[in-house]
Amino acid sequence: MSYLIGEFRNMLLSIPGIIFIFSFKGFFQSFVAGKLGDPTPRNAGRLTMNPAAHIDLIGFIFIILFGIGWAKPVPVRTRFFKKIKRDVAIFYISGPISCIIGGFILFFLSALSESLLPISMVSDIISLMLYLGCTISLSLGMFYLLPLPGLDGYYFITNFVPYKYNNVLYNIEKYSMFIFIGFILLLRSTPLGYY
């Protein structure tokens, strides 16, 4: 019973960190796209830390319940990029990088809170909340690097795949949801457990 209570507590305390990292990832990728010459994310209202602009409800529920989820994809038009191959690669790799940066920000804040705040139940909750956010953020950074359809790692790699293999990629993408769900179920069955 105490285990379930602890899991539920961690689930609730992870929510602020999830909101932060989804917002930071969307903002960071929008910023990168703008620097590469594409105004689309800015015009779509994504160059903001407002969670409402970035959070996908289903992806948000998934990460709370299963430890793996996603935000709204940042819209881009590659025709605005100066060097297509290079800039597409930079744009997609910026997603996982943003999660790693966000994780270190939360880790720094967690360490800072432990050293500055007096020992109390409130400070313990704040430290745990920041630690959970850091863990989730770094985990998502690694997860988004995987070459699964729909993830940044997939689009980063397929950016370099010769055009003649587009039909193969299309057939893979048709089953992307099944592949994604299958991977989540497989991950949940491993000792890695939650997050």
CA–CA separation, 1 vs 41, rounded Å? 46
Domain count, the chain: 1
Tell me the pLDDT of the chain averaged across its residues: 86
pTM of the complete model: 0.84
Segment 79-97, tens digit of pLDDT: 999 999 999 999 999 999 9
Q: Would you give the DSSP letter of residue 44? A: T
Q: Are 146 and 157 in contact (CB under 8 A)?
A: no
The model's confidence at residue 15, banded by pLDDT at 50, 70 and 90, is very high
**Core vs surface per residue 153-162: b (16+ CB within 10 A) or e:** bbbbbbbeee
Segment 22-78, tens digit of pLDDT: 999 999 999 999 999 999 999 999 999 999 999 999 989 988 887 777 899 999 999
Task: Decide if 70 is inside a domain.
Answer: yes
The four Cα atoms 91, 39, 16, 141 give a dihedral, to 10 degrees, of 0
Task: Decide if 55 is inside a domain.
Answer: yes
Q: Please calculate the CA angle 94-18-22 and round it to the nearest 5 degrees.
A: 35
Task: Decide if 193 is inside a domain.
Answer: no
Task: Decide if 153 is inside a domain.
Answer: yes
CA–CA separation, 100 vs 50, rounded Å? 20
Task: Decide if 195 is inside a domain.
Answer: no
Q: Which range of residues forms the domain containing residue 121?
A: 2-188
Task: Decide if 194 is inside a domain.
Answer: no
